Structure 1
Amino acid sequence: MMDAMGNHRAPSTRLVGRDDELYQLLGLAGVTAPEARDVVLLGGDAGIGKTRLLRELSASARTAGHRVMAGHCLDLGDSALPYQPFAEAFSSLSDDERDVLAERFPALGPLLPWPSAAPGPGVERAELFASVVAALDSLSADRPVLLVIEDAHWADASTRHLIRYVLAQGFTGAVHVVVSYRADDLHRRHPLREALAEWVRLPRVRRLELEPLADADVVDLARVRAEHELPAEALRAVVQRAGGNAFFVEELLDAGLDDHRSSLPETLSDLLLVRLDRLDEPARRLVRAASVTDGREGFAALAAAAGLSDDELDAALVTAVDHKVLRRSGSDDYVFRHALLGEALRDDLLPGERRRIHAAFLAALDDDAPPATVARHALAAGQRETAFTATVRAAEAAGLVAGYDEAAQHYERAIELVDAAPPGTDEIDLVIDAANALVTSGQLMRALGLLRDHLSGLATDVHRDCHGRLLVAIGNTCYFANLDAEAEQASVQAAEVVPDEPTVLRGEVAALRARVLANRRRDREAAQWGERALQIGETVEAQSVIFDAKATVTRLTARSGDDPGQTMTAFRELVDASRASGHVLGELRGLNQMAFVHFNAGELDAAAAAFDEGMRRAAQTGWSWGPYGFDGRFFGALIAYMRGRWHEALQLCDVRDGAPPEFEAYLTAVSLLVPAGRGDTAQIERTLPQRALWRHDQASAIHGTSALIELAGVAGDLAAARRHHDDLVDLHVRSWDDTDFAARIRLAALLIGQYATAAPGLDRAAQHDLVQQLPGLVDGVERAVAATQPLGPEGQAWHRRALAEAARLTWLSSDGVTDAGELAGLWRGARDGFVGLDDPYETARCSARLAAVLLTSGDETEGAELVAEAREVAARLGARPLLAELDRLSPRAPRAARADVDLTPREREVLQQVATGLSNGEIGARLFISTKTVSVHVSNILAKLGAAGRTEAAAIARRRGLLDD
């Protein structure tokens, strides 16, 4: 009923003030430029003329032989039906065309009206999305297709995902897409605002914003729309009041407010409602009833809700159309000429009147009406039992098409109505279903709060299975949220509450215990619980328990290192079996664990492929923010960073389509590695609002802290770098009860590396303080190495790096005693480790530091080669701190005589004292000059010798005979 474009009627008046925009649209939509394959995002304020422009475009497209399909997003709040605009667009096809599509693309069934597609058991999101694209392509085989989606600002999350999928496709046929939205509705946190930012970065997507009409165009429009010639004074009044908004122009004229002396209503609602004063009572009843529709009730239901006889209804329709409140749409439907008018009417209804209208609609609805529509009318009518049943059905229907955001909303609404539930309703099942939908849509903490709230409210005398089911759900949610201690506590309590009998619930308890224990590295206990879960699962034929237990047992096998090939085969079999049975969680978990086996083995290409497969499957099944689905994106970005594809890493982290806040924070953490490598210290402050969320996720906390240590070092704040390191160690103790975690090796290496880089510019006391911290940091590294066995290739590389950085710090400090040959060996080992990982950035950093040792020791040929190699990588990545480090290592030609170095007599005196290890203050006192003057001389000496620090300068001076014996 709410179709604003479904009719094939051409615009009755000429288009005013939009010739340029129409010309552009005609080209982009392939009407005047058949080779075009662009997608258009058409934005503008409410009433600015988007729909009028799209009607003109549609009329021109039909004249040119294009097939025009249109659908609308509706302002339905929690009762939104996923993919409504696409269902509406396909409903415009003929019965024969829909029947052909239903036969060729069965997964398209939920979007095709009965009887073209019979109700089925539900489809996966991947199949549905792919079928929509394939159907549009097939329709374009005989003539071009123009798909118009209007009012995307009202789109539900599932519809936005499908729009994004369609926009990203490269159609083989001539399929053109235009999506309109209200720009003035996009407040700062509106989900479409972030979605648009992502969509415009897709290939071929063009954004077109409609600006207010110019005053001359407003005058022209007013003259076209007016029923009589308007005097100049009236035209000025319209121009002044309309503000370039075409809708306001029409409303002012239709309401008779073209007289500048008339009083303009204070609000738009008042302005819209003024025109209703000219309607008779039957017409008012009709339009007030129409204001609460969602477009899915049908014309017959509207007639019944208005409570008019046939004669009264006909007369009311004539009146409403004549007064330009309603307009004809199709053969048997009427719609508001402007959606804003319907909104104003709905808001104007009195509570009792609104309730009576909703009750009338409810009574008139067909048996096959969408459950969300039934629920909305029932709730507004005060019929809570009917509303409960319909809301649960709406949640189930949304879940069948992977609309988990909407499913969660419906389930939560059903919980609010549970007091009106039919006898025998299991409230625990309802709560767990709601929590599962919340978890799958990425709202883990909300799900956990819901479960804990209901557990605390359970009476002590209820059946113990009620407690057990909630405890299992809490344990799973905590596990997915990386709350290991809470997950273990819930699993222990569940094991105590649920009897040790072959039941599905006991199998779920055993599978949960196995998973939690495996996470805590208590492998022997985990294996025992895993075998018990498998035994119970096979006894009671519970596939979900079997998949869960097999994944844990296979993970334990992979960790043991026995027969890696067999382990990977087992994971692939688990993934394939889960996918075949429709068990999404099992499939994603299998891919996730397979990816981590490759990752921990240093097989980054294979890991990236598995993470990417998991990310794609998560997107296809609606699990992008659910358990294991998000890991594909997070670790895919991390691997892209490690492989030197920093632009790709940033792209993967830039997700703006309604990402839950915690996941946005996690992606910010890993994306921070890139600005850390580039020395962009401004990013330190940008992350402040999100850091609190990192504590919920170990990987985010680790990588975010790694970046902060680097950025603090670049900013010259070594104390802050140490605080970041210590804060993360403390967090691991408090939140995860783990002091000797593997990532401590990397964090210490980065921190010591920042110390070593800063050391040459510090005085002797400051250098000594840094060296004094080494034993504690290295001890933490060695304890982490001992606790993480076997240590994978990445861990081994960072272990070598930590030892090399510690030796570098000692070498560059005033009291350094490290042998250059030994130091070069340490850096060769570290470099080889990162070469094996194919990590270009860390390889380049190791090359630079190895080159510094070699150049100081006289091996300038290899040193120069390493500098050139590292510089190429640093330049490509934009790694400014590394480039600065390399600038201090410019290869030097050998110099055999002291005359080759142009040092002043005073500089030679200062150099002599530097070589003895004196600080600037001590040198000044000995030579009777100020400390500042000594500092200037030292800087000049370092520049002339091409040395990175005082110790290196002394070494160069000794080798070239610049020091007195």
Structure 2
Amino acid sequence: MPSDWTTTEPLVGREVELERLLLTTGVGDPEARGGVLLSGDAGIGKTRLLRELASRAADDGHHVLAGHCLDLGDSAIPFQPFAEVLVGLDPPTRQAISEALPPLGPLMWGAVDGAGVDRGELFSSVVAALEVLAASRPVLLVVEDAHWADASTRHLIRYVLAQRYEGPVRFVVSYRSDDLHRRHPLRPDVAEWSRLPGVQRLELGPLADDDVRELVRTRATAGIGDSDVTAIVRRAAGNAFIVEELIDVDDQAGPLPSTLSDLMLVRLDRLDDAGRQVIRAVACAGGQVSDGLLDAVVDLPAATIEEALRGALDHRILTRTRSDGYAFRHALLAEVVRDDLLPAERRRIHAAYVRALLDNGDSADVARHAFEAQMPDVAFTASVQAAEQATRVTGHDEAAQHYERALSVAGSAPDGTDVVDLVIAASEALTASGYVRRAWKLIDDHLQDAPRDLSDEERGRLLVAYGTAALLADRLVEPVQAVEQAFAVVPEQPTALRASLEALAAQVAANDRRFDDAIRWATQAITLGQRLGLTRVVADASATKARARSRIGDDPGGDERRFHDVAETARGAGNVVAELRARHHLAFHYYERGDLDRAEREFLGAMRTAADAGRQWAPYGFDGRFFAAVTAYHRGRWDLVEELVDITALRPPSVHAACLEAVGLLVHAGRGERDRLATVRRLRDFWPKDIALAIHSGTAAIDLASDASAAAVWHDELVATLAKDWAGPFPPARLRMGALLVARFADDAAHTSTTERAAWVDRAHELRADADRAIAERGPFGIEGDAWSQRLDAEILRLRWYAGAETELATLLDSWQATLKNFAALGDPYEEARSGSRLAEVLHASGDVPGAKAAADAAHDKALALRAQPLLRRLEPFLGSGAGGGSPRTVTVSAPAPQPGEKPLTAREREVLDHLVEGRTNGEIATLLFISTKTVSVHVSNILAKLGASTRTEAAAIARRQRV
């Protein structure tokens, strides 16, 4: 640690430890006396933490002194860290102390062995020097790397720590805990030092995964993909040094840099040959290993193995597990040891594991070792068994991995294996894990590579699975093609495959808005499915039929009942996929009719049901979370949106994470957070992967763009993506996209040239034509579509008005009043408030100042609740500007802290409070409500403030007493 304490990079993940050090060393508590023994593995971040401590202490006026013990082997220099401290003093202080305390002269002027000086005098002089320095300002003495300290230095450290100082003198002594094997000379000293009065021990553990991710973000000089970040988190195991080394590795799935691997392998040099042999076997285990398994794998006597294990434990290479097994203290060292094995040596060890585990071991372990041992027949069978076991416990991610690995050695499958069935099972596992596009691509690859002797029945099964996956991946052309090809090879006979094909044909027809065809195919599938006892087909086809009937729209009450019936029937049959699909359609049934409250409840219910079934990222399960967030946004429940899109504790697949971020961008846009455009740019790469992601982040960019011209660029880029990758350039979103862009034109019209204003008016009419084509091709739309269509007309009139084109003021007023009414009927407070702000502008310009004030006041209250700062600024000129005069209302974006009884609890706060009353922790509440622990903590703070409680227990008591 150099004498310059300044740091250019933020400290990550060590806030708690830093706070404790600040208090113990007097920076946070001037009355503190004593010291801290700071330990941790090499590279864990001790020096970085000490630099931060030193910087804070120096800023607080402390005299920070630092000395280092050096790894010089038998040539260690006695008292090296103290000599470094004394030599580093400024010349006048150094001279004064040398004259006042002659025994320190040898340390100060180069004779560091202290020859000719009584040791007792030397030790007492060091203490006296610290007292002298502390007379003017507090002293913080840091001794680093005490694991390399010689005996003389260790004795002096013990003496210094044991003294009672008159002035403010504090200490921190750091050492590597992974170096302290059983016979290390520092080990008994640490035990003794920790018993001294005022001395505390602080073990620095690994960084949390979230902190590692933050460390990567702060240290990386170039962008690192999500998969690479995940690999770094896994490999580094919380070690800051390794994190920073891995950041510069190009292939995170490849071997470590030789410099890092060589550095780690040096630790094995402390072991004898037997110890290294055992260590190699443990490294190949892939995790913890028991005594019995090691006995079966390692060709050594049991006593020799035990002695080797003891040496590895003493040198802190291995650690004991809770189940009385052994594992590497750092997984990366195990990786380095495995990579260092000779190929034949590695295969031999893994083959020994296969033999030991084959009869009663875990299938996943057998499969992994069999792959490494190059035993493909064993690997195939074990992988399929492992996939089936994972599926039974809803471990869909793991099942997908095992199925894919089995398919990679399908050529070694036993005779009679149904490979087509295996492909379909792998596709379904990928879908359940949320990797729909991979599921679709997997079947596509097998269809392309299928042997010529594939039977019609096998090809038909693959085509039905392909069409289903393509449909879930939001493809339009491929499902239609799959159904056509499947009908050519699947005969019209009463078979399960025919029933599945007819059910798929119904879905494809409904998706293509051919509702009569969808009902016909669904009816046929239901009839055949009931005849053959195919409950899953019946449930799927019933959901499709109900959806098609609802889109016709002639029986809303019946549609709602049918969706409920399908969901209940599916639930009773244990068909969670059909249940989720029915609830998804029911939620959209409410959504499209403007009943956003019930739509949100259904989406949230589907989200929770999917999570219970381990399908939280699968279609309909993830849709529950995603569309609950979208619905909450439209309802003005923006805090709930932030909860639902908070992915820190969820770890979704990358596309799902991007989708949630896209919805969150709508809130950021409403609150005017222009820096979030960087997020849109990052998400731009995901636009071809999800249409809703593209639309939500793209429309947020239109609002966030710096001016109308930049907004037009984002709009046009979004249109190009829709045309190239999705349903063509005229999806329903064109109404909203057009209205938002014309709004930006109107906002900037007063500050641009006449020529550009005229061009914008022409472009606005083109956008209206595009919207009309979207209505013709994809309409009719529900109440939301009608509201945005009306908003587009109103924005065009506003643009024409600002551009000086002929515009009837009465028509402009009528248009904005209609727009306001439509969004109010929809229950969208933000768009209602935005429409109200436009109406206030027009009313004010027309001379109706009281009317403008009334419209602005109504809009202001909604914008204030949403903390929509740009809208609040826009409304400010019209507030309090009634006929009687008065000053405009002051806009306060952040509401003051609530006083007891002033504000009621929100619905979410009531949910949290109910669990508080039951005595649950924040983590337990987060799990039950599917939100992050951090969000729960915020809610708890709000509850305490609103109830006037100082503790959770008091809040629960108030709730019981008042029945809050």
With the shorter chain as reference, the TM-score category is 0.5 to 0.7
Determine the C-alpha separation between the residues in 2 that align with 1:810 and 1:337.
70
User: Which residue number in structure 2 is paired with residue 63 of structure 1?
Assistant: none
The answer to whether structure 1 residue 812 and structure 2 residue 733 are counterparts is: no
Amino acid of the residue matched to residue 363 of structure 2?
P
Aligned residue runs from structure 1 range 569-608, under 5 A: 569-608=561-600
Which residue, out of 409, 412, 422, partners 1:420? 412
What's the offset of the Cα at 1:587? 1.6
* C-alpha RMSD over aligned residues: 3.8
How has the CA–CA distance of structure 1 residues 44 and 846 changed in structure 2, closer, same or farther, with 3 Å as cutoff?
Answer: farther
Alignment deviations for residues 241-293 of structure 1 (CA, whole Å, 9 cap, x no partner): x984311354994999x9xxxxx99933332211223x5x5x65444434433
Distance in 1 (CA, whole Å) between partners of 2:687 and 2:276 is 56
Residues of 2 paired with 1:328 and 1:468: CA distance? Answer: 53
- Unpaired runs of 5+ residues, structure 2, are 1-13, 22-37, 47-139, 158-172, 190-258, 886-964
TM-score (norm 1): 0.64
| In 1, Cα distance between equivalents of 2:322 and 2:344 | 32
CA distance in 1, matches of 2:265, 2:306: 27
The answer for the alignment partner of 1:677 in structure 2 is 670
Change (3 A) 1:832 1:252: farther
1:517–1:526 Cα contact (<8 Å) kept: yes
Contact 1:48/1:246, CA 8 A, preserved across alignment? no
Letter in 2 for 1:276: L
Residue identity opposite 2:179 in structure 1? F
Cα deviation, residue 306, structure 1? 1.9
Q: Give 1:812 deviation, angstroms.
A: 2.4
- Give how far 1:314 is off: 6.6
Give how far 1:468 is off. Answer: 1.7
- Contact 1:296/1:373, CA 8 A, preserved across alignment: no
Tell me the equivalent position of 2:104.
none
Instruction: Report deviation, 1:739.
Output: 5.4
The equivalent of 2:750 in structure 1 is 760
Of residues 841, 863, 873, the one that matches 1:874 is 863
Instruction: Work out whether residues 48 and 247 of structure 1, in 8 Å CA contact, stay in contact via their aligned partners in 2.
Output: no
Equivalent pair of 2:507/2:544 in contact (CA under 8 Å): yes
Matching of residues 835-854 of structure 1 within 5 Å: 835-854=824-843
CA contact (8 A) 2:732 2:779 kept: no
Q: 2:509 aligns with which of 492, 498, 517?
A: 517
| Greater RCO (Cα-Cα under 8 Å, separation 6 or more) | 1
* Structure 2 match to 1:75: none
Alignment match, 1:690: 683
Cα deviation for residue 48 of structure 1 reads: 5.2
**What does the per-residue CA deviation read over 1:598-632, in whole Å, with 9 as the maximum and x for residues that have no partner?**
10000000000011011112222222221111211
Alignment map for 1:492-891 (pairs within 5 Å): 492-656=484-648, 657-712=650-705, 715-718=706-709, 720-738=710-728, 740-787=730-777, 789-818=779-808, 820-890=809-879
Shift in alpha-carbon separation, 1:360–1:832, aligned structure 2, 3 A: same
- SS of 2:674's equivalent in the other structure is coil
Give the Cα–Cα distance (whole angstroms) in 1 for the partners of residues 19 and 667 of structure 2.
Answer: 43
Aligned to 2:921: none
C-alpha distance in 1, partners of 2:848/2:19?
A: 68
Question: 2:176 aligned with 1:230, yes or no?
Answer: no
Contact 2:471 2:479 (8 Å CA) reproduced? yes
Q: 1:851 to 1:274 in 2, by over 3 A?
A: same
Q: Is the CA contact 1:398–1:407 (under 8 Å) kept in the aligned structure 2? A: yes
Distance 1:567 1:353, change over 3 A: same
| Amino acid of the structure 1 residue aligned with 2:356 | A
Q: 1:438 to 1:771 in 2, by over 3 A?
A: same
Indicate the SS of the match to 2:683: helix
Deviation at 1:49, TM superposition (A): 11
* Equivalent position amino acid for 2:178 in 1: F
* Deviation for aligned residue 1:676: 2.2
- Cα gap change, 1:623 to 1:45, in 2 (>3 Å): farther
1:68 corresponds to = none
Question: Secondary structure, in 3 states, of the residue corresponding to 1:422?
Answer: coil
| Contact 2:853 2:880 (C-alpha < 8 Å) held by counterparts | yes
Q: Which residue in 1 is equivalent to 2:372?
A: 380
**Whole-Å Cα distance in 1 between the matches of residues 663 and 330 of structure 2?**
46
Cα deviation per residue 1:14-35 (whole Å; 9 max; x = unaligned)?
Answer: xxxx9x969989xxxxxxxxxx
> Shift of the alpha carbon at 1:784?
3.5
**Secondary structure in 2 matching 1:682:** helix
Distance 2:444 2:812 in 1: 56
**Change over 3 Å in CA distance of 1:338–1:757 after alignment to 2:** closer
One-letter identity of the residue aligned with 2:787: A
Distance 1:352 1:573, change over 3 A: same
1:532-556 CA deviation, whole Å, 9 max, x = no partner? 2212212222122111111110001
- Residues 181-210 of structure 1 show CA distances to partners (whole Å, capped at 9, x for unaligned) of xxxxxxxxxxxxxxxxxxxxxxxxxxxxxx
Q: Distance in 1 between the 2:329 and 2:783 partners? A: 67
Amino acid at match of 1:564: P
| Structure 1 contact 296–369 (Cα < 8 Å) conserved | no
2 CA distance for matches of 1:881 and 1:265?
A: 51
Contact 1:495-1:510 at 8 Å conserved across structures: no
In structure 2, what is the equivalent of residue 247 of structure 1? 178
Question: Which residue is 1:271 aligned to?
Answer: 266
In 2, distance between residues paired with 1:676 and 1:634?
18
The residue that corresponds to 1:948 in the other structure is: none
Q: Is the 8 A contact 1:827 1:846 kept in 2?
A: yes
Q: Is the 8 A contact 1:828 1:850 kept in 2?
A: yes
- The secondary structure found in structure 2 opposite 1:292 is helix
| Secondary structure in structure 1 of the residue aligned to 2:581 | helix
Asked if the contact 2:863–2:872 (Cα under 8 Å) also holds between the matched residues in 1, the reply is yes
Shift of 1:479: 0.9
Instruction: For residue 849 of structure 1, report the CA deviation from its aligned partner.
Output: 1.6
Amino acid at match of 2:757: Q
Residue 877 of structure 1 aligns with an amino acid whose one-letter code is L
Q: Deviations over 1:780-827 (max 9, x none)?
A: 333444555543111222222222222222222223331x22222221
For each residue in 1:511-539, what CA deviation from the matched residue of structure 2 results, as whole angstroms up to 9, or x when unmatched? Answer: 11211121111112222221222122122
Q: Specify the alignment match of 2:393 in structure 1.
A: 401
Q: CA deviation at 1:588?
A: 1.4
* 2:439 is the counterpart of 1:450: no
Which residue type is aligned with residue 230 of structure 1? A
Which position in structure 2 is the counterpart of 1:351? 343
- TM-score, length-scaled by structure 2: 0.64
Give CA-to-partner distance per residue, 1:423-453, whole Å, 9 cap, x none.
1111112122222212221222222222211
CA distance in structure 2 between the aligned counterparts of 1:623 and 1:436, rounded to whole angstroms: 11
What SS does structure 2 have at the residue aligned with 1:672?
helix
Is the 8 Å Cα contact of residues 483 and 735 (structure 1) preserved in structure 2? no
Match of 2:455 among 434, 442, 463: 463
Deviation at 1:859, TM superposition (A): 2.4
CA distance in 2, matches of 1:373, 1:216: 46
AA of the residue aligned to 2:844: L
Q: Give the corresponding residue for 1:919.
A: none
Contact 2:39 / 2:175 at 8 angstroms: preserved in 1? no
CA pair 249-553 structure 1, distance change in 2 beyond 3 A: same
Aligned length in residues: 676
Instruction: Note closer, same or farther for the CA distance 1:815–1:222 as it changes in structure 2 (3 Å cut).
Output: closer
Give the secondary structure class of the aligned counterpart of 1:517.
helix
- Once the two structures are TM-superposed, the CA of residue 693 in structure 1 deviates from its matched residue by 2.1
Q: Secondary structure at the match of 1:811?
A: helix
1:307 aligned to which of 299, 303, 310: 299
